[in-house]
Structure 1
């Protein structure tokens, strides 16, 4: 069916851009993609009917550049812009600029964006319309002394969060008054950098909460309906990991009350389009709920609602933006079956979930489930954007079947070349609390530190056999053909002369393998590829591992290095745990510092990570605020001796030394 829009620009990237383009194609609407230099070869660029470059890799110079996005819309003849989520999707200045350019913003009106985009104002708004809110106060205009006084009056523990923010960025938990100063500094710094506004909001921290949100749809004719709830309780660092619909904590009566409250919140600002109203529900009292915020856009987890209701939310957004009335009444909405979504991130669970970067050597989504992905084989994961690679969505008649289906789909998902959280996701959905549905937002934090399974003997043998067949076990990127770098199910020849090959594991351990010894258990179910640094990525039996075969010289060198590190009492070098940007330096060069003291903070992929001293000593900095750093780059040195000047490392020399090491 033709609509009044014939061309729509998608002001986003990754999986959400691809997902919006899919619905535009189904509606026979011409799609326009925008891209930064980092995304020139991204899948969403090739899938759109038209693609327009809008700037450099940095989001501030491309996806957040309002003028560049509007110029792309005008140049491509787009009548409307779909903002997806993130970036400009909740930016009132962007919505206003679209209106001034006679381009339809596929989202709510400016008033709704202004009110709901401010956590303080939004609570006041919905509270006046009968929606329950969490006790707290706004820190706008308050001195630190006044904040401390009101915090004491409200009562600890408290949750501190940016008023203008979202997605958990900048949130800090303060359990005691002694933690307040540090939490204020951290929250303000993140809020100012991410949102340009360091105003903070304080709320009573509800212990063991569940995070329940309600999907709403509204049109400009005054119709407001809800499409049931989603459970988003499984979170890490305030970022959702697993989402599902319906919630195991919500019965029919509570669902009706939640839906009515969500519709009241939306109607209070004359909402138009698709939006989500988020609530905290006490785990022990699920019939008590409190408004958190309203997200005035499509949500990452919208597919689970689409699965259980059969309603295409992007299509509804487009039709409402055209001025059409909703064709769905509240009584028409029925929730059938159960849907669960898992977010696949480029990160290393074994390293505390630090973001990961690299080239996707192989990507294959599982059959039988919906997978919304941002990548294809050959895609480059950089530190410029959010680390989410894909969403895997399982749908089944009941929750138990949906969990089983999701686990099987994650096991069948092939991602080689970049660390991911797939193994962690499988462990998470097998947790007893998740299986039973008795969850709260602290469940992941209570789980033991994640440790990946060791690769099976057959996989180690496969890597060793491949290494034995190569002139050099590590080789060079230029010498490796596409066959070596492919994800084909390679098998060694049984006629090869047996030899012993050392194989290094991702954790640095080394084992010796006699090859050829490739078990038939790997068979055609194994996928393997080699990255630029000579590491073999192997997927088989639902697991992915990274290993590399070593020459005798390499193995000997690695073992000597390990013995030297073990003999050293402490390592004086503080290295970057992830690639990113230095956003804060907390000490001065030459300061005497104590073990555990924060030295600097790195930000990448919407995440901050502190780098702390491992022992007492004198610190010597090799980086400064604003520096872009590589993973494992030396950032500072902490010499145990107070007379450490003779050991001081010149930053230029250190950088040059690391460059040589990287090239060797």
Structure 2
């Protein structure tokens, strides 16, 4: 067994691996970029090594620096985690060539299964059913388009070299194939360094079910049951559970046997996942999609129903141990459900919801615990969340003797989850878990996209604005002098000679929402608060303590987690969080002008980097025409013309770094400005 293992990853992934290594008595080595110098995984490891600046290709993807870190710390093995180099065959070979043990499958298996085209051919030869699609690698754009038209719409464009939904594009209209192929290639190149694509038939209303496999170096291959991963957005999983509510025992056994055959076909060793697409109306018609030659993000749900520590068995298998179990020894007990907490801002446009990367500093953190609840997290208070890396911050997992219990526990755990300072998807996930179809187990991969708009709150509750205004009002109160005396004329009570107390006006704004005027009139221990044009409500801050605020509002007590910074107040409850800041309407008007021409202006929906500029000042454009592409956390967002017109401003170039809400371009409608006026 190894004495020291280096973890070639970061965040909650590294923290998770450290936990198992510590339980096994193995010394852990963390690596970090400059951006992660004070990260949780760095603090929790036995030792840590700086490997470069924030850019992943100069740190977490830099093979020589990782190997140097292993050498100087005396590591005997490298655990790649999941993501970054976990499925990189060249890295696995470099590790073994350096005399170290790679805690994962052989490089040849990674290479074979990492190429989705070869993988499909290999498992098909082993008798595993596959999804119809293109054949051959290295297809040109024209060949991909021809293959797609031959298969028939809708089709799915997929990077051959990777997974996680990055670079994957669903195309229903053949007219946009060329643009979608180009976008898929860009994302694949950015995410995996390889823009090879394949095209597959898209199955409407499918379920995504995967089988966990575990293989040793002595010829033993086990399957550990399935995980239901159908709740996705942007082809990325957000809720996973085990076992699936769809499968019966016979189908589970058949899919497990097929997964084991796929693992044997590529000479697999270690923990891996075989993914299947399954028609909801005919579970027996499952088809192989791909194999992930690494530990999966959602592995905790399998651990909870099997009682096995998959990281521990990865390490033991890599050290040469044989699996002590036979297939009949694997039992599935109870039910587990996992929710991925991501740094995201949900923006609703009509019936469409965009989940955009968010960034900021974690000002207050409360993570759930208790009976049947597990949290895997890379967060601490003070963590800087940027847009350089993947947006996933943590995972909350709940276990119960049955599915309804696990779902209830997870919803309660998400209500106890508070991350202030960064927008997260926690409240959205909690609402999704209460969706009638989710509760009933009637799932498919399109459910989230269809119903997302109904699960995203459309406004900020009045009591949130009231709490922020009263906190602002309290901040106006003067501090007592050295003798404990307070000038009564400086107290913001609204007192005046004769008549009722005056109203104090607070102009407030929450990102993504219109400014709101809140008026506060204090009278003794109680106050009146008027939010916008609503009627005044009796309210008071019943208690203010570090990290918490209690607001009495119209006879109801609301308890918020709170983090403040000058004119900015973060307030959170039941997994939701709101950033409410002081708004200066005069300054906002002065910042306006041509560059902020309301609906004519196109702003950055997220902090990120401009990757493509498709227009120039003076161009005549059509409504919906793509003008700029912004990339953050390896996801692209297309900025399109809001209406037909002329581009009168374009303030960015490819490679420009942009902030959220920064103006990128202005399109004047025809007849109101520009060359056509």
Q: Which one of the candidate residues 216, 236, 240 is aligned to 1:239?
A: 236
The structure-2 alpha-carbon separation of the partners of 1:56 and 1:69, relative to structure 1 and needing over 3 Å to count, comes to: same
Distance in 1 of aligned mates of 2:446 and 2:40: 35
User: Residues 525 and 541 of structure 1 are in contact (CA less than 8 Å); yes or no, is this contact kept in structure 2?
Assistant: no
The structure-2 alpha-carbon separation of the partners of 1:142 and 1:466, relative to structure 1 and needing over 3 Å to count, comes to: closer
2:148 is equivalent to residue 151 of structure 1: yes
1:188 match? 185
Q: Which moved more, 1:596-605 or 1:623-632?
A: 623-632
2:641 is equivalent to residue 613 of structure 1: yes
1:651 match? none
The structure-2 alpha-carbon separation of the partners of 1:586 and 1:25, relative to structure 1 and needing over 3 Å to count, comes to: same
1:510 match? 516
Deviation at 1:636, TM superposition (A): 2.1
Q: Which one of the candidate residues 220, 226, 236 is aligned to 1:229?
A: 226
Deviation at 1:494, TM superposition (A): 13
Q: Which moved more, 1:616-625 or 1:35-44?
A: 616-625
Deviation at 1:456, TM superposition (A): 4.8
Q: Which one of the candidate residues 542, 561, 572 is aligned to 1:527?
A: 561
User: Residues 138 and 197 of structure 2 are in contact (CA less than 8 Å); yes or no, is this contact kept in structure 1?
Assistant: no
2:600 match? 572
The structure-2 alpha-carbon separation of the partners of 1:541 and 1:572, relative to structure 1 and needing over 3 Å to count, comes to: closer
Q: Which one of the candidate residues 616, 633, 653 is aligned to 2:662?
A: 633
Distance in 1 of aligned mates of 2:153 and 2:172: 6
The structure-2 alpha-carbon separation of the partners of 1:80 and 1:472, relative to structure 1 and needing over 3 Å to count, comes to: farther
1:548 match? 581
User: Residues 277 and 291 of structure 1 are in contact (CA less than 8 Å); yes or no, is this contact kept in structure 2?
Assistant: yes
1:583 match? 611
User: Residues 477 and 492 of structure 2 are in contact (CA less than 8 Å); yes or no, is this contact kept in structure 1?
Assistant: no
1:427 match? 431
User: Residues 244 and 341 of structure 1 are in contact (CA less than 8 Å); yes or no, is this contact kept in structure 2?
Assistant: yes
2:365 match? 363
User: Residues 158 and 205 of structure 1 are in contact (CA less than 8 Å); yes or no, is this contact kept in structure 2?
Assistant: yes
**Pairwise mapping of residues 227-306 of structure 1 onto structure 2 (< 5 A)?**
227-306=224-303
The structure-2 alpha-carbon separation of the partners of 1:251 and 1:643, relative to structure 1 and needing over 3 Å to count, comes to: closer
The structure-2 alpha-carbon separation of the partners of 1:456 and 1:335, relative to structure 1 and needing over 3 Å to count, comes to: same
String of CA shifts for 1:21-74, please: whole Å, max 9, x gaps: 011111111100000000001000010010000000010110000011000000
Distance in 2 of aligned mates of 1:608 and 1:526: 34
User: Residues 139 and 202 of structure 1 are in contact (CA less than 8 Å); yes or no, is this contact kept in structure 2?
Assistant: no
Deviation at 1:155, TM superposition (A): 2.3
Deviation at 1:628, TM superposition (A): 1.5
Distance in 2 of aligned mates of 1:446 and 1:264: 35
1:483 match? none
The structure-2 alpha-carbon separation of the partners of 1:429 and 1:616, relative to structure 1 and needing over 3 Å to count, comes to: same
User: Residues 127 and 133 of structure 1 are in contact (CA less than 8 Å); yes or no, is this contact kept in structure 2?
Assistant: yes
The number of equivalent residue pairs is 618
2:384 match? 380
Q: Which moved more, 1:316-325 or 1:442-451?
A: 442-451
Distance in 2 of aligned mates of 1:555 and 1:541: 31
SS in 2 for 1:447: helix
Distance in 2 of aligned mates of 1:420 and 1:123: 36
Deviation at 1:85, TM superposition (A): 0.4
Deviation at 1:219, TM superposition (A): 0.4
User: Residues 423 and 577 of structure 2 are in contact (CA less than 8 Å); yes or no, is this contact kept in structure 1?
Assistant: no
String of CA shifts for 1:196-248, please: whole Å, max 9, x gaps: 22221111111100000000000000000011000000000000010000000
Deviation at 1:642, TM superposition (A): 8.0
The structure-2 alpha-carbon separation of the partners of 1:423 and 1:30, relative to structure 1 and needing over 3 Å to count, comes to: same
Distance in 2 of aligned mates of 1:542 and 1:202: 39
2:328 is equivalent to residue 331 of structure 1: yes
User: Residues 139 and 196 of structure 2 are in contact (CA less than 8 Å); yes or no, is this contact kept in structure 1?
Assistant: no
1:478 match? none
String of CA shifts for 1:121-142, please: whole Å, max 9, x gaps: 0000000001000011136344
String of CA shifts for 1:569-599, please: whole Å, max 9, x gaps: 8533322111111111222443211121100
Distance in 1 of aligned mates of 2:189 and 2:517: 49
User: Residues 360 and 416 of structure 1 are in contact (CA less than 8 Å); yes or no, is this contact kept in structure 2?
Assistant: yes
2:131 match? 134
Distance in 1 of aligned mates of 2:28 and 2:492: 52
Return the structure number with greater strand share. 2
2:498 match? none
Unaligned runs of 5+ in 1: 474-492, 648-664
2:52 is equivalent to residue 50 of structure 1: no
Distance in 2 of aligned mates of 1:290 and 1:341: 24
Deviation at 1:601, TM superposition (A): 0.6
2:466 match? 461
SS in 1 for 2:466: helix
Deviation at 1:643, TM superposition (A): 9.8
Distance in 1 of aligned mates of 2:587 and 2:655: 35
1:592 match? 620
Q: Which moved more, 1:614-623 or 1:21-30?
A: 614-623
Distance in 2 of aligned mates of 1:59 and 1:102: 25
**Pairwise mapping of residues 438-517 of structure 1 onto structure 2 (< 5 A)?**
438-449=442-453, 450-452=455-457, 454-471=459-476, 500-502=504-506, 504-506=508-510, 507-514=513-520, 515=522, 516=527, 517=539
User: Residues 379 and 393 of structure 2 are in contact (CA less than 8 Å); yes or no, is this contact kept in structure 1?
Assistant: yes
Deviation at 1:542, TM superposition (A): 5.0
User: Residues 460 and 503 of structure 1 are in contact (CA less than 8 Å); yes or no, is this contact kept in structure 2?
Assistant: no
1:349 match? 346
1:654 match? none
SS in 1 for 2:395: strand
SS in 2 for 1:425: helix
SS in 2 for 1:115: helix
Distance in 2 of aligned mates of 1:116 and 1:52: 31
Distance in 2 of aligned mates of 1:192 and 1:540: 40
User: Residues 460 and 513 of structure 1 are in contact (CA less than 8 Å); yes or no, is this contact kept in structure 2?
Assistant: no
Distance in 2 of aligned mates of 1:178 and 1:646: 30
SS in 1 for 2:468: helix
Distance in 1 of aligned mates of 2:149 and 2:200: 12
1:403 match? 407
Give the TM-score of the pair, scaled to structure 2: 0.87
Distance in 2 of aligned mates of 1:643 and 1:546: 36
User: Residues 494 and 504 of structure 2 are in contact (CA less than 8 Å); yes or no, is this contact kept in structure 1?
Assistant: no
1:485 match? none
Deviation at 1:468, TM superposition (A): 1.0
User: Residues 570 and 615 of structure 1 are in contact (CA less than 8 Å); yes or no, is this contact kept in structure 2?
Assistant: no
1:537 match? 570
Deviation at 1:154, TM superposition (A): 2.1
